[in-house]
Amino acid sequence: MEHDLSPRRYPEMSGKIALVTGGSTGIGLATAQAFAHEGATVIIASRNEKRANQALAMLSDDGRGRWMQCDVTDGRDVDRLVSSILKEHGPIDYAFNNAGSGGKMSPIASMSEDAWGKTINGYLTSVFLCMRYQLPAMLKAGRGVIVNNSSVDGLRGYPLPGGAAYAAAKHGVLGLTRSAALEHAKDGVRITAICPGWIGTPPVENWIKKNKEIGAQIMAQEPIGRLGTSAEVAGGVLWLCSDAASFMLGSPLVLDGGYMA
């Protein structure tokens, strides 16, 4: 169920600058599309230029879009990204820290240190690095909204074997978000997070197709009876960034089809 984005919902976003990391596919792409529809200039930051160009072609003509290469696990890359945006476009109004990657999933007793490190770096350290360089720029401008992509797995243990490192990273994202939000509660910069449940992104859909048993377990965790859509998560991100969510600070928005209920 994709949401119709018309008409515009947040006129204050027109002409603003929105950064979406990992914006080439899935939730990131849907969020980039939603920002563009509202008339924002959208910077997609990712590693793969081909996929990014495909994503840019899918953005609404209402806004502008461009791609900047960035590995969000590399602080120097993130620093260059933010500096380039400031130089070419001006202050960042909205940042959706969505990009994430990890090591091989395995039970704790057999997980390699390398896999653990890749997952923590890919899903948690990356968010820290993004905020580390976004915040000074936003504080200087006296405004900005940061939304970090956590997960329902940041609120409970991973429900299937092998996801402990991922859950630990997503718990960490929420701790980082809450702490940063309190640090800057009176500075004009609002920081919060979103916690999606099972969303029908390409990796999840492929996983379900390949393993019917896993698919049945996943669907059993959705009281609503279906997977969420990337567009639904994007709608939540835009609301968090909008003036309508001006009192939303630190606490995450949970979009999970009833799973955590």
Provide the token pair at 223.
Answer: 């009281």
- Residue of 10, 94, 133, 166 marked catalytic: 166
- Whether residue 112 contacts residue 106, with contact meaning beta carbons closer than 8 Å, is answered with yes
Rounded Cα gap, residues 123 and 72, in angstroms = 9
DSSP assignment, residue 99? -
- Whether residue 153 contacts residue 100, with contact meaning beta carbons closer than 8 Å, is answered with no
The b/e string for 12-43 (b: 16+ C-beta within 10 A; e otherwise) is ebeebbbbbbbbbbbbbbbbbbbbbbbbbbbb
DSSP 131-198: HHHHHHHHHHHT-EEEEEE--GGGTS--SSTT-HHHHHHHHHHHHHHHHHHHHTTTTTEEEEEEEE-S
Strand partners, 31: none
Instruction: From 205, 178, 20, select the one nearest 99 (Cα to Cα).
Output: 20
For β-strands 144-149 and 94-97, DSSP reports them as parallel
Rounded Cα gap, residues 141 and 151, in angstroms = 30
- Whether residue 35 contacts residue 238, with contact meaning beta carbons closer than 8 Å, is answered with yes
166 tagged catalytic: yes
Instruction: From 120, 108, 123, 258, select the one nearest 198 (Cα to Cα).
Output: 258
Catalytic residue numbers?
Answer: 166
